[in-house]
Amino acid sequence: MIPYGRQSISEADIQAVVEVLKSDWLTQGPAVERFEQTVAHYCGADHAVAVNSATSALHIACLAAGLAPGDILWTSPNTFVASANCALYCGATVDFVDIDPRTYNMSVERLEEKLEQALHSGKLPKVVIPVHFAGQSCEMEAIADLAKRYGFRVIEDASHAIGGRYKGEPVGNCRYSDMTVFSFHPVKIITTGEGGMVMTNNLKTHENLMRLRSHGITRNPSMMTEESHGPWYYQQIELGFNYRMTDIQAALGVSQITKINEFVARRHRLAQRYNELLQDLPLTLPWQHPDAHSAFHLYVIRLHDRIDKSHHVVFEELRQQGIMVNLHYIPVHTHPYYRALGYHDGDFPEAERHYREAITLPLYPDLTEGGQNKVVVALRDVLGCNSACAGRYHD
């Protein structure tokens, strides 16, 4: 059985975790800050706040951006539900911007059109969350220009994209956004088991995020409403959460990030190899925007409609052969919870078309060329192209 993604854990990773387990601090110790500084340095951002998941990171990022009841957040429909749910946690409403048919990221043209309409109807978003699908950055410079023009905040959902680059610079440096969120779930680029992080260059935002991560509590006398009662004293000055990352997780993260460039390079080599081995098949292979160097979290193919098997059958036959392909993503607005909020089939046709055609092939650093060959043979077999496509499919 070959999964679509999985972690890569070394002996050094295991040793790093064991050391924390033998130390004085399992949580709220020095490893969390070390991990934050390491990631901030790697990305070229001023500040980083580690939390227990990207979902938590998106929640406190929205709160730090001032998202509140009555506000509107826009994101891509081609994402994991967490990119949209964070708006609802804050009591705001959520809407979507359809995707670009080449990158499968939020379309800048659709975004601009929708902003112009929203300006006239008085329903401009407070926050927009572009999602770097499969690890490929969105067109952030254009999005930042629109943010200035229409006055919204930008939070990048870079859950797929740590280790990726945009216009030659690391994703996460927040040059074109207010904050950037990473996920460290085991299928992502580097892992802490569960975990996430918010990057920002704004000191005030950093302070807000640190407080929201831990109950809304401050130990900073200048933030308090009265004189400190003594060395034990702290104040809760707003409603926060316990979204803290443990030192056990952070130590794993510090060890993992030493290999991030190697991981991303390996993902690129495997992606390049898929490109070569699949080029004659009736598929659309992942298109790469010249401004982006993807982290290649996912390798997503799209089936052409002239294939004589349905998408569903191709998917099932691959799974029957032990190739645990996946589908990214079920358009968020078509989930029952979102339908109940008023969304319908047909609202975001490019994302819906993507859902009807997309299949995620296995891709992770420990995937061997032999394993990858099995995926290719199975796919060629299912599409009836094993010796060659033999004129089976014509443009």
Ligand X SMILES: *Cc1c(COP(=O)(O)O)cnc(C)c1O
Is 59 a binding residue for ligand X by CB under 6 A? The answer is no
Least separation in angstroms between residue 243's CB and ligand X is 11
Listed ranges 80-88, 225-233, 264-272, 319-327: which one lies at the site for ligand X (CB under 6 A): 80-88
Residues 38, 55, 177, 326: which binds ligand X (CB under 6 A)?
55
Listed ranges 26-34, 78-86, 218-226, 381-389: which one lies at the site for ligand X (CB under 6 A): 78-86
Site track 276-315 with ligand X (rule: CB under 6 A), x = hit = ----------------------------------------
Least separation in angstroms between residue 306's CB and ligand X is 31
Distances (CA, A) of 77 to 15, 107, 203, 264, 351: 40, 11, 31, 26, 6
How big is the CA angle at 353 (ends 349 and 355), to the nearest 5 degrees?
A: 120
Beta-sheet pairing, 153-157 with 179-183: parallel
> Buried b / exposed e across 301-329, counting CB within 10 Å, b at 16+?
bbbeeebeeebeebbebbeebebbbbebb
Q: Which of residues 119-148 bind ligand X (CB under 6 A)?
A: 131
Containing 311, the helix (H) or strand (E) segment is helix 311-320
Query: In sequence order, what are the beta bridge partners of 51?
Result: 196
Residues 39, 54, 154, 161: which binds ligand X (CB under 6 A)?
54
Is 180 a binding residue for ligand X by CB under 6 A? The answer is no
Distances (CA, A) of 355 to 73, 79, 184, 316: 23, 11, 25, 15
Is 196 a binding residue for ligand X by CB under 6 A? The answer is yes
Least separation in angstroms between residue 133's CB and ligand X is 8
Least separation in angstroms between residue 187's CB and ligand X is 7
Q: Which is nearer to ligand X, 82 or 87 (CB)?
A: 82
Is 213 a binding residue for ligand X by CB under 6 A? The answer is no
What residues contact 343, with CB distance under 8 A and at least 6 apart? 96, 333, 334
Least separation in angstroms between residue 303's CB and ligand X is 22
Least separation in angstroms between residue 298's CB and ligand X is 9
Listed ranges 53-61, 287-295, 301-309, 381-389: which one lies at the site for ligand X (CB under 6 A): 53-61
What residues contact 232, with CB distance under 8 A and at least 6 apart? none
Is 79 a binding residue for ligand X by CB under 6 A? The answer is yes
- The rounded radius of gyration (Å) of the Cα atoms in the chain is 22
Q: Which of residues 148-177 bind ligand X (CB under 6 A)?
A: 157, 159-160
d(C-alpha 67, C-alpha 88), whole Å: 10
CB 201 within 8 A of CB 174: yes
Q: Which residues bind ligand X (CB under 6 A)?
A: 53-55, 79-80, 82-83, 131, 157, 159-160, 183, 185, 196
